[in-house]
Copies of this chain bind each other. A is one copy, B any other.
């Protein structure tokens, strides 16, 4: 199986996973054009709802495939307007009849843009992805008290936005400590009342942490919780936190990794071994099918951004590595 996704992103209009799907189609076309028959059949997969923009969670199709989310539960997921995924798929004739779970496969490979700066910085045309970062992502709700900004001395305030700001900075400092294999970010805050002259009484923020090593991730997670508790106490705030997304750090399949490294070597390419920091369909798929991934460079390390770009020449090199790996994995040996 060769796959990725074609759904749109939270921001921007680009399709960061389209390369993976088009690579699969290109490989099949090449095999057909050259009359090449493989021992094992090749399938191209375009997974439903990888970005999770409209229906949560991300990689929902692959999660159902992996048995992590029951099919009926996945189809029942609702968007913000209360529309169900199953109904919306039926409306566009995308609700197929083939079973989703229990499908056997020898191997799964997925190509994707890196979405980071490492390949460009190291001038490598591809990266072989032998695992994925574990993720623990929190929602933290801080509750203080509304007060007039002009009349309330700082010592008398219970300022939720001030504590949220301290958390954002502490999370960034934590990320710096865990570079280059860890990440941590506050990218989202809902501020109440968010009025210029009223001290913020409530902030709901999200803070994620990611690491290639599960042990290091557990350490980061514990430190994050300490940060939330420390800043809530310092700001005399009530605090509640919950994990809204958790993915264990994973190692991909050695044979699939080896098929990709072999193909890259046979093309004389320089490549690093990498861990994926982003979520991908390959991550749930790897729980039930031997899996590995290939990355191609992202200009300026950008993705989820209108300026996201990988040149046709860079994509072609990645496609050739995928072809080589697909031929290896589809052979009887």
Contact = CB atoms under 8 A, between A and B. Distances in A.
Given A116-B148, A117-B153, A162-B169, 18 more contacts: A10-B193, A114-B151, A137-B196, A146-B302, A148-B278, A149-B185, A150-B276, A152-B301, A154-B172, A154-B179, A154-B183, A159-B185, A162-B186, A187-B196, A188-B194, A188-B195, A197-B208, A201-B305
A331 interface: no
Contacts of A12: 146
Contacts of A183: 149-154
A145 B302 contact: yes
Interface string A162-203: 101110110010011001100101111111011111111100
A142 B146 CA distance: 26
Given A176-B154, A196-B187, A147 B304 contact: yes
Nearest to A170: B165
Interface of A: 10-12, 114-117, 133, 135, 137, 145-156, 159, 161-162, 164-166, 168-169, 172, 175-176, 179-180, 183, 185-191, 193-201, 206, 208, 210, 276-279, 301-305
A255 B259 CA distance: 91
B153 A180 contact: yes
A6 to B, nearest CB: 18
B165 A305 contact: no
Contacts of A137: 196
A189 B189 contact: yes
Contacts of A196: 137, 187-188, 206, 208
- Report how many copies the assembly holds: 2
A282 to B, nearest CB: 14
A115 B301 contact: no
A329 to B, nearest CB: 26
A172 B168 contact: no
A187 B165 contact: no
A162 B168 CA distance: 6
Contact of A198 (B11, B169, B190, B193): B11
17 contacts: A115-B148, A115-B150, A115-B151, A116-B152, A116-B156, A117-B152, A117-B153, A137-B196, A150-B210, A150-B278, A151-B277, A152-B277, A153-B183, A154-B172, A159-B172, A165-B168, A165-B186
A210 B196 CA distance: 13
B147 A197 contact: no
Contacts of A175: 154
Nearest to A12: B146
